[in-house]
Amino acid sequence: MANSFGTDILIQAPNPRDAASFYVESLEFEITGEQPRLISLHGSHINLFIEQGPALGPVLEVTVDNVEQAKSRLVNAGCEIVKDEPAVPRCYLKDPFGLIYNLTTAPAATKVTGPTHP
């Protein structure tokens, strides 16, 4: 399976503004974008996206050649589907060791500027 981990990490928090303030003040992240339910932050080596919602823990983004094929292999290997959005296409999975990640495909000939968030 060809894949690559990106530099984007998504978390969910009941109050994204409070969470963003913590990361800006405590870890010197910089706010780079704000939408009604999502705040984007940039650090030295990662981009952090804080979406309003119940805490899932960190979600890592994994780019694969084919989301459906990768999802099938991973479910057969013991992963649990957390959220599936085939129309996007993307799928959030929790592996047998507790890591949650978003399977996605890279858009053709465009630069990825943020995660595909739930």
Domain boundaries of the chain, sorted by first residue: 3-104
Please state, rounded to an integer, the average pLDDT across all residues of the chain: 86
51 in Cβ contact with 117 (< 8 Å): yes
Residue 2, both tokens: 């060809």
Has residue 110 got a pLDDT over 50?
no
CATH superfamily for 3-104 is: 2,3-Dihydroxybiphenyl 1,2-Dioxygenase, domain 1 (3.10.180.10)
Has residue 73 got a pLDDT over 90?
yes
Residue 1, both tokens: 């399976």
pLDDT in tens, 14-56: 999 999 999 999 999 999 999 988 999 999 888 999 989 888 7
9 in Cβ contact with 48 (< 8 Å): yes
Return d(Cα 116, Cα 88) in angstroms, integer.
Answer: 9
Return d(Cα 86, Cα 73) in angstroms, integer.
Answer: 16
